[in-house]
Amino acid sequence: NSSVLMPRLRSQAARLFGRDSCKAFSRRLHTSFLPGDPGYRSNASGAVEKAKVECQRRLQQIKALPKPRQIPAFRCTMRDWHPDKNPEKVEVATEVFKWLQSQKDLL
């Protein structure tokens, strides 16, 4: 049953990183790229590059996990950067989400 499976996957992904749970990671990562930040509109590519660097760090953590735990953790990261989940910064989220999709094969 998918309604039971999704919360379980989310909680497993949150436990994978200890203190740096999915929500904490998402909050820390996204708060520095909000539209009100200086340079957000004028330098969206800079915000994309910063986000990619943070996601690269996260992917390195995910790669260090055992294989069965990598998929839920990667899905958590993908969900954090889905453009529908980030209406205040669609351009940045779209670019990062596309980049994450291209990194999926490297896990």
Residues 48-56 have a mean pLDDT of 91
What's the pLDDT score for residue 82? 94
82-91 own/partner pairs: CB under 8 Å, 24+ apart:
86/30, 88/34, 88/35, 89/30, 89/33, 89/34, 89/35, 89/40, 89/47, 91/44, 91/48
More confident residue, 51 or 37: 51
**Residues, the chain:** 107
Contact by Cβ (8 Å): 71, 64:
no
Give the model confidence (pLDDT) of 67-87 as tens digits.
899 999 999 999 999 999 989
- Across the range 43-63, mean pLDDT stands at 87
Q: What is the pLDDT of residues 6-40, one digit of tens each?
A: 455 455 555 555 545 555 555 555 444 444 454 44
